[in-house]
Amino acid sequence: MRRTPKKCRSMTGATAAACLISTTPKTKNLFAAKPATRNLNAGLKNRPMFRKVVYLSGLITLAALPARAHEKWLVDASQRGEVPALFRSLQPVNIAVVAAALVVVALLIVLGRRDKAERPRTIYQKLEPWAPTILGIAAGVSLTAAALDRTLFAPNLLLPDGALATAAVIAELLVGIFLIIGFFTRVAVFLFAALFVASFFWFGLDALDYLNLFGVAFFLLVWGRGRLALASIFGRIFMAMQSSHLRSAALFVLRLLTALTLLLLGFEKIIRPDLHLRLFELYPTFNPYLILHAFLPFLSKELYLFILAVAELAAGILLAAGAWIRVVSLLLLLPFLLSPVFLGASEIFGHLPIIGTLVALFILGRSKIFRK
């Protein structure tokens, strides 16, 4: 039992009670709410301003991807130009750009994996059946347009004369039509994959620029063509395939091969910057660099191209890591959709497969398929 303090012993009544209360030590309330602290254990989630700065930095890094074209579609890759010093040797500028990009990418990956909060998925659930539809139609239109130009997948892969090449053109046309109407989709994508393998016979390593097409073929093989497909009427009769257990794997393959394609194109910009620099000569009066240079006068063409390459590499790393897939996909969509503004409407046909891929990744996110 607690003893009465000396100063309260001579008091009586209410005065003594008040003295006892004032001298009683306060006990810790185990149920009281703890004040917010800025300790290390709180982690990054108790630092909203820090998180906002990192998110904004990531958005700025990816937003550095302006409207772009595949350089080999417009310039002759066999002619080599001078490589600027910024791409040949280590300098404070390129070291700073790479270091900043690595820090931002690492922080985005960490934050993306720490953020476990579930977000409403109602809209994505409703859009999920349309992801293979959008991707299939986009790839089909692109293949049909390429076949009509006697090219394989892209303008720079011009097929030669001869019976074998003509057969490839016919096969490409049939694949495109079948993907558009959604008929015999899985048979068509087998032929699609065979054409991709055959492209190495005609074009060598240049075919690696379209590695994502193999991911598109595998994705459509597993998922089918989705909504608005003739296969929904005849599919059960002609060809049935229980592949729902492979859908997450197909989505992972699509995302990984798209990321590898971005990484290859980013490295190509660093190894062959002369290709992109020649685009400035083809479009001297209206190109994305001129728009950026108006706001950033210190930005040289070489630095602009180096930042563009690093941003493309950063986007590829984020996609491969499965971090911020929807944000990255949305930001990557913008330059591809804007490319016709700078390079003409025909530019869009070659980019339709990657546009469809980014839309599918935006809808489906990481490899977690909604259960019906």
**In the chain, where are the structural domains located?**
46-364
Percent residues over pLDDT 70 in the chain? 71
Token readout for 321 is 């890591």
Confidence of residue 43 (pLDDT cuts 50, 70, 90): very low
Q: Which residue has the higher pLDDT, 352 or 366?
A: 352
Structure tokens at 247: 């859908």
Whether the pLDDT of residue 169 is over 90: the answer is yes
In the 3-class helix/strand/coil scheme, how is the chain assigned residue by residue?
CCCCCHHHHCCCHHHHHHHHHHHCCCCCCCCCCCCCCCCHHHCHHHCHHHHHHHHHHHHHHHHCCCCCCCHHHCCCCCCCCCCCHHHHCCCHHHHHHHHHHHHHHHHHHHHHHHCCCCCCCHHHHHHHHHHHHHHHHHHHHHHHHHHHCCECCCCCCECCCCHHHHHHHHHHHHHHHHHHHCCCHHHHHHHHHHHHHHHHHHHHHHHHHHCHHHHHHHHHHHHCCCCCCCHHHHHHHHCCCCCHHHHHHHHHHHHHHHHHHHHHHHHHHHHCHHHHHHHHHHCCCCCHHHHHHHHCCCCCHHHHHHHHHHHHHHHHHHHHHCCCHHHHHHHHHHHHHHHHHHHCCCHHHHHHHHHHHHHHHHHHCCCCCCCC
**What percentage of the chain reaches a pLDDT higher than 90?**
39
Residue 51 half-sphere exposure toward CB, CA atoms < 13 A: 11
323: pLDDT strictly greater than 60: yes
pLDDT category, 114, cuts 50, 70, 90?
low
Token pair 């992972």 is at which residue? 252
**pLDDT value at 361 more than 60:** yes
DSSP lists the bridge partners of residue 151 as: 158
pLDDT exceeds 50 at position 35 = no
71-80, 174-183, 232-241, 299-308: lowest mean pLDDT where? 232-241
For residue 132, pLDDT beyond 90: yes
- The model's confidence at residue 350, banded by pLDDT at 50, 70 and 90, is confident
| pLDDT confidence band for 34 (50 / 70 / 90) | very low
Q: How many CA atoms lie within 13 A of 69 on its CB side?
A: 29
Predicted local distance difference test score (pLDDT) of residue 106: 93
> What value does the mean pLDDT take over residues 351-366?
92
* The pLDDT of residue 124 is above 90: no
Least confident of 25-39, 111-125, 135-149: 25-39
Of residues 71 and 362, the one with the higher pLDDT is 362
User: What is the reported pLDDT for 205?
Assistant: 87
* pLDDT > 80? residue 199: yes
Check whether 75 has a pLDDT greater than 80.
no
Predicted confidence band of residue 370 (pLDDT cuts 50, 70, 90):
very low
Of 1-10, 39-48, 124-133, 282-291, give the range with the top mean pLDDT. 124-133
Please tell me the distance from the alpha carbon of residue 291 to that of residue 281, in angstroms, as a whole number. 16
The average confidence (pLDDT) of the chain is 79
> If you search the block for the tokens 């690093």, which residue do you land on?
310
Answer whether residue 154 shows pLDDT above 60: yes
- Give φ, ψ of 151 to 5 degrees: -120, 160
Who contacts 90 (Cβ-Cβ below 8 Å, separation ≥6)?
none
